Amino acid sequence: MALRTLIDPIAEPLLSLRQVSTTQWALRLTGLVGMVLALLATLPQGPFAGFPSVLLTLTLAVLTLLQMLRPDTGLGVAGPLLVVLVLAVQAELSLLRALTVGLALLLSHVGFSLAATLPAHGRFEPSARRLALRWLLPVLGVTVLGAAVVLTAAGTVLGAWMVVPGVLAVIALLVALLPRSR
């Protein structure tokens, strides 16, 4: 009886994992893989190279695990923000590495966004898979276009005055894109 009391609390969550559908496994693992790729690209010296790297790795691991359990959690914004902040303080950041991190964050975000549309036992029909993949193509197209513009303009040196309109433009973009309650 004592053994049963020990085993039951462990066995029940493991058995409930059987109810998680293949679709959800695929989407959540996509999110996980994206975050792992982003982490590896953010820390080129390795995820366990020093104390700050270990700290970042553990924090991202916890946040990603929480997001795998609850894809729609508000904590999902913390991981990518942390990655952006770490990249901002790095002395050297090549354009290629930055783009890699960006695409990895996109992969993670897409996986978790789609996973949040269904409960853990929900499945996607083939038509749903086709629909989601079809509309990722314009996203990649816009990314490529934007990257081309950034790469082209990267060599241009503008004065400090450009900061003000730049920030205003970002604020305007933020306001335009954030969802409003109707």
Partner 1 sequence: MVRAVLVGCTALVLGVLLGRPALLLVGLPLLAWALTAVALRILQDREEGFPAPVLEPGLRTVEEGGTTALTLRTAPGALTAITVPMQPHTRFWPRYGSLAGDGTVRLRVTAERWGRVRVGPVHTLVTDPLGAFRAQAEVPAVTVRAVPSSSVLDAPVEVPTPIGVSGMHLSRRRGDGTALSEVREFRPGDRLHRINWRVTSRTGRLHTNATFTEQDTEVLIVTDTIADITPAPWAGDEAPSSLDMTVRATAAVARHYLTAGDRVTLFDLGHLIGPVPAGTGPRQLRVLTNALARAGREDGAMRLPRRLRSVRSGTLVVVCSPLLHKEAIAQIGVLISLGADVVVVDTLPPSIGDTAPLRGRPVRQEGISSDRFWPEAWAMRRLLRNSTVRELREAGVPVTTWEGPASLAPVLLSLSRARSAPRRRRS
Residues that bind partner 1 (CB under 8 A): 1, 4, 19, 21, 76-77, 80-81, 83-85, 87-88, 93-95, 97-99, 101-103, 105-106, 109-110, 113-114, 116-119, 121-125, 127-128, 130-132, 134-136, 138-140, 142-143, 146-147, 150, 153-154, 162-163, 166-167, 170, 173-174, 176-179, 182
Nearer to partner 1, 58 or 140 (CB): 140
Please say whether the beta carbons of 107 and 33 come within 8 A.
yes
State in angstroms the smallest separation of the CB of 51 from partner 1: 24
State in angstroms the smallest separation of the CB of 45 from partner 1: 18
- Gap between the Cα atoms of 146 and 57, Å rounded: 30
Residue 146's closest CA among 138, 135, 158, 157? 138
State in angstroms the smallest separation of the CB of 177 from partner 1: 5
- Gap between the Cα atoms of 41 and 87, Å rounded: 10
State in angstroms the smallest separation of the CB of 14 from partner 1: 17
Please say whether the beta carbons of 31 and 115 come within 8 A.
yes
State in angstroms the smallest separation of the CB of 13 from partner 1: 17
42: Cβ contacts below 8 Å, ≥ 6 apart: 56, 83, 86, 87, 101
Residue 63's closest CA among 31, 22, 104? 31
Nearer to partner 1, 51 or 174 (CB): 174
Q: Token digits for 136?
A: 């990722």
Nearer to partner 1, 12 or 125 (CB): 125
Nearer to partner 1, 45 or 94 (CB): 94
Nearer to partner 1, 54 or 78 (CB): 78
Report DSSP state, residue 179.
-
- Gap between the Cα atoms of 41 and 98, Å rounded: 8
